[in-house]
Structures are given as C-alpha cells and as structure tokens.
Amino acid sequence: MFGYSGANPKAIAPVARTSHAVLLSYDNNPTLFHRDNSRPAPHNVFTSTETLIKAGLAKDHSLDAPPAVFTYGALPAAAKPARVLSLRWSPDASAAWNWSPKGWLRTQNGTPDVLADHHRVDATNVVALRIKTKDTGIRDVVGNPSPDDVVVGSGKAWVFRDGKVITGTWKRPGLGAPMVLTDAQGGTIALAAGSTWVELLPPAATLVVR
C-alpha cells in the first residue's frame, strides 16, 4: 500500500503505471486522513498505518507483506567505525545522524527531528545512495524544478549500522528488480534487523562521515 497526499498528476502517473501497490491518496479519499489544525498547512496531514492497511485490504483482499528490500544478517567484516554522518542537499537543506545506544538519531537542518509524540526519529540502519536525477518538466509555484530521483542503474552506497559504516555500490537493473548492495569485494552488504531510513544523494549533495 502507498499512502500519499498532494502528488502532482504528472509525477504520480509513472507510479500508478509501474507500481504493484494499492494507491491511497488524500485527494481521492480524504476520509483516510485528517488534519492537525495546530500545525501549518500543508504540513498537517496525518493518517495511521492501521487505517491504510484496512483501506488497502478493502481494495485488494489478496495483499500480503512485500518482499524484503535489502539483505539482513551479521555485521560485515569490512565495517569501519562511524559516529556521525552529515548530509547537505543545498544551503537550506541538511540532515545528520548520530549514533547512540538507541540507534541512529536524526537531525534536520540543525534541529532534532522528532515525531508528533516528541520522540526523536531513529533508525537501526541508515542507507545513503548516490543517485542521478532527471528533469520532469514540473515546476513548483515559484518556478523551482521538481526532479525525478533515478533509482535504477548503479551508484555509490553507504550502509550505517551498529555504529559503523560499510562503503560499497548499489545496483538495480530495472523497476521490477530488487536493489542489491555490495561491498568493495563484491559481497552483499547485510543490514541489521530493524528499521531502515534511506537517504538519496543527487550529484550536488554532500556526505561527510566522522
């Protein structure tokens, strides 16, 4: 199931054409979502996993859990210590992850990234992928381009887990194929069991590991 709100028709068209997910949007069914009026629009749209699962199963009773996106297992021997990773997309957009006993804790634009219940956003694994982008012809209300992230092909990859980093390559031959992460020796990079956050880095973005 793919729940979303506010997609440009031109941007969502290839998703609808190639995805096997049931698409659940605010525009088509606003009853699946609600707004928190204490927050500024449009950043105040909420839903729940339970709501989306029920709606998805109502549309397609055959839905089951999708296959795993990555491979999971023991910490690779090639892992090196890493405590902080800093990412920057532009002068106005940055993020960072700090290793802690709770896992990787996220910062957005210099401020702790927190959930609605004020708990810090955290992840067991952080996967950073160097990608290319292509022009969609879509512009926002002030004329800024809205590029398409290209996640087919290959590029550099960083896998952060257990306070360490493994550097390698991501490969994905087509939209229907799984993404494969390999280290410098060609072995599969295994993630730790748990939650995973993927950061996409277009050509101009930077990543610094400390």
Kindly report, residue by residue over 107-123, the tens digit of the pLDDT.
Answer: 999 999 999 899 999 99
* Rounded Cα distance, 123 and 196, in Å: 6
The per-residue pLDDT for range 121-136, each reduced to its tens digit, is 999 999 999 999 999 9
The per-residue pLDDT for range 171-185, each reduced to its tens digit, is 999 988 889 999 999
**Is residue 156 a contact partner of residue 85, using CB atoms and an 8 Å limit?**
no
Say whether both 120 and 204 belong to one domain: yes
Range of the domain at 21: 2-59
Say whether both 35 and 97 belong to one domain: no
Per-residue HEC secondary structure of 18-39 comes to: HCCCCEEECCCCHHHCEECCCC
In the chain, the number of structural domains is 2
Quick one: pLDDT band at residue 151, thresholds 50, 70, 90? very high
Q: Would residue 100 count as lying in a domain?
A: yes
Q: Would residue 72 count as lying in a domain?
A: no
Position 20 scores a pLDDT of: 86
CATH of the domain at 174: 3.50.90.10
Q: Would residue 48 count as lying in a domain?
A: yes
What are 45's strand-pairing partners?
Answer: 35
Position 108 scores a pLDDT of: 98
Say whether pLDDT at 85 is over 90.
yes
Say whether both 106 and 205 belong to one domain: yes
Quick one: pLDDT band at residue 19, thresholds 50, 70, 90? confident
Quick one: pLDDT band at residue 66, thresholds 50, 70, 90? confident
pTM of the model: 0.92
